[in-house]
């Protein structure tokens, strides 16, 4: 296959463009076209070093969507290694607050689940707490979403609830 000089030149230009570093304008264009969750750590670092509020907001939105996800971890890594600059303190605060809000929501959800197990068992809170081996105050903190019980304690609560739900069902089916 023989190439004309124009075709050879075009191929050479394309090959050199592939190995040439991206300019700021072309780098920003590639960043802006993709969701933040698909950006490289270098792209996020570059975005944080700009003064573009809309790009920062996109990063914050990605962090809020998934506070322990890839983007949040990348931002965390950048903030750990980079000297503090304008947006770094704000992003660090976004990470902390978003994670705290998520943890509070999860504790509330666990509290609702514990309440369902309690209701299903038909026992009162003091009896249920006693049978799973915790103080009434501690059990109440689970119900209120202040503290999350351990995984093994959740399994114990589930088993207790199952056992008493079966007893209640048997009594309902076999009245004396």
Q: Quick one: 79 exposed, middle or buried, by C-beta within 10 A (0-12, 13-18, 19+)?
A: middle
User: Angle between the 53-65 and 86-121 helix axes, to the nearest 10 degrees?
Assistant: 20
Residues 32 and 67 both lie in one domain: yes
Single out the residue in 13, 47, 82 at which a domain terminates: 82
DSSP string computed for 89-144: HHHHHHHHHHHHHHHHHHHHHHHHHHHHHHHHHT--HHHHHHHHT--HHHHHHHHT
pTM above 0.75, yes or no: no
Q: How far is the C-alpha of 154 from the C-alpha of 160, rounded, in Å?
A: 10
User: Angle between the 125-132 and 136-143 helix axes, to the nearest 10 degrees?
Assistant: 110
Residue 10: inside a domain: no
pLDDT along the chain (176 residues), means of 10: 48 43 44 84 88 89 95 93 78 94 96 98 97 97 96 98 94 81
Radius of gyration, CA atoms only, the chain = 28
Q: What pLDDT is stored for residue 48 in this prediction?
A: 86
Q: What pLDDT is stored for residue 93 in this prediction?
A: 93
Pair of tokens at residue 159: 């088993």
Query: What's the first-to-final CA gap in the chain, in angstroms?
Result: 96
In this structure, are residues 143 and 125 in contact, taking their beta carbons and an 8 Å threshold?
yes
Residues 58 and 115 both lie in one domain: no
Residues 75 and 129 both lie in one domain: no
Cα distances from 12 to residues 1, 4, 7, 19, in angstroms, run 16, 12, 9, 11
In this structure, are residues 146 and 118 in contact, taking their beta carbons and an 8 Å threshold?
no
Identify the domain containing residue 148 by its residue range. Answer: 103-176
Dump pLDDT digits (tens) for 119-146.
999 999 999 999 999 999 999 999 999 9
Residues 131 and 165 both lie in one domain: yes
How many domains in the chain? 2
């Amino acid at each position: 296959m023989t190439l004309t000089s124009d075709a050879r030149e075009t191929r050479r230009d394309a090959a050199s463009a592939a190995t040439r570093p991206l300019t700021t304008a072309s780098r920003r264009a590639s960043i802006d076209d993709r969701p933040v969750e698909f950006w490289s750590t270098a792209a996020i670092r570059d975005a944080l070093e700009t003064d573009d509020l809309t790009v920062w907001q996109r990063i914050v939105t990605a962090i809020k969507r998934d506070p322990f996800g890839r983007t949040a971890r990348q931002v965390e890594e950048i903030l750990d290694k980079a000297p503090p600059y304008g947006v770094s303190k704000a992003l660090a605060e976004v990470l902390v607050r978003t994670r705290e809000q998520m943890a509070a929501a999860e504790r509330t959800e666990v509290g609702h689940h514990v309440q369902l197990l309690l209701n299903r068992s038909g026992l009162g809170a003091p009896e249920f707490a006693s049978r799973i081996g915790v103080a009434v105050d501690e059990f109440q903190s689970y119900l209120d979403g202040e503290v999350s019980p351990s995984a093994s304690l959740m399994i114990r609560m589930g088993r207790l609830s199952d056992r008493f739900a079966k007893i209640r069902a048997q009594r309902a089916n076999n009245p004396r």
